[in-house]
């Protein structure tokens, strides 16, 4: 895929917003969707910030309100994309929620909502998009993972959902190898990366979050949304034509129980 049509779930705020804007800036035709209301454990709300950032970057994207865990909403997003743009070349499954909790402190409705958004949402989007990619001769799916997918304290169900994303991605990469559909995972992390979810876990206080001691990355700073977006753009591109079933860890060691502890 050179410059193609890409759907970004959860693409209207935070890290998803960074992905939407970077892909649009590079010339992709982007369809971004999310919910225009606050979500549990996240500060994500409203589309005005995305529209302002797109304007500032001198680019455009389709911005839709839809719930990734609702099959009818997912089909509506895909139908819009096909009707307006005629094809779907790439899919970024970014939508996620991440309430904290152990198995003892997470109630059943919260468990269901985490799995519905993080895992079923990825399944629904992939299921809806794959037939179009296969009919067109191929495509690229990038699922946004998490270092928590390998297990983190007080993130039992979120960790389980992101571990499932890793397994689902590898299985999909096998299943659609001969369809020329590539499936990969990008993990943000490194400590200090600002997202609606991470700030939401601190009550929405961005300043308090950014004041936390964080080791960051090998670049000597925390990763940013654009760092993640650059990796996603690579995985969507023809430069990654032979890459499927792999994980790019944007934040350094997030996949090995990291980040690296800060010095004192």
**Cα end-to-end distance, the chain, whole Å:** 46
Phi, then psi, of 118 in degrees rounded to 5: -75, -40
Has 123 been annotated as catalytic?
A: no
Which residues 6+ apart lie within 8 Å of 203 measured at CB?
Answer: none
**CB–CB of 179/6 below 8 Å?**
no
Q: How far is CA 234 from CA 18, 57, 184, 185, 230, in A?
A: 14, 20, 11, 12, 6
Among 123, 150, 158, 174, the one annotated catalytic:
158
Cα–Cα distances (Å) from 193 to 97, 156, 213, in that order, read 16, 21, 12
DSSP string, 60-104: --EEEE--TT-HHHHHHHHHHHHHHHS---EEEE-------B-TT
| DSSP character at residue 158 | H
Q: Which helix (H) or strand (E) holds 6?
A: strand 5-9
| Residues belonging to the active site | 158
């Amino acid at each position: 895929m050179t410059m193609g049509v890409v759907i970004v779930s959860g693409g209207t705020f935070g890290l998803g917003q960074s992905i939407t804007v970077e892909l649009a800036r590079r010339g992709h035709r982007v369809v971004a969707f999310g919910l225009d209301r606050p979500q549990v454990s996240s500060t994500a709300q409203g589309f005005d910030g995305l529209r302002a950032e797109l304007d500032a970057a001198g680019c455009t994207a389709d911005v839709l309100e839809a719930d990734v865990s609702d099959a009818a909403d997912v089909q509506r997003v895909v139908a819009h994309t096909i009707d307006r743009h005629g094809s779907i070349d790439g899919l970024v499954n970014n939508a996620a929620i991440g309430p904290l909790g152990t198995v003892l402190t997470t109630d059943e409705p919260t468990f269901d909502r985490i799995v519905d958004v993080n895992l079923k949402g990825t399944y629904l989007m992939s299921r809806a998009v794959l037939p179009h990619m296969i009919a067109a001769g191929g495509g690229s799916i990038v699922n946004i993972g998490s270092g928590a997918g390998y297990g983190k304290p007080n993130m039992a169900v979120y960790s389980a959902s992101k571990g499932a994303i890793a397994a689902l991605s590898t299985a999909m990469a096998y299943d659609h190898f001969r369809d020329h559909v590539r499936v990969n995972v990008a993990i943000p992390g490194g400590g200090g990366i600002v997202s609606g979810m991470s700030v939401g876990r601190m009550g929405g206080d961005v300043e308090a979050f950014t004041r936390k001691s964080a080791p960051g990355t090998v670049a000597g700073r925390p990763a940013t949304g654009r760092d993640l977006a650059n990796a996603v753009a690579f995985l969507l591109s023809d430069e990654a034509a032979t890459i499927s079933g792999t994980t790019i860890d944007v934040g350094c060691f997030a996949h090995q129980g990291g980040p690296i502890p800060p010095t004192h």
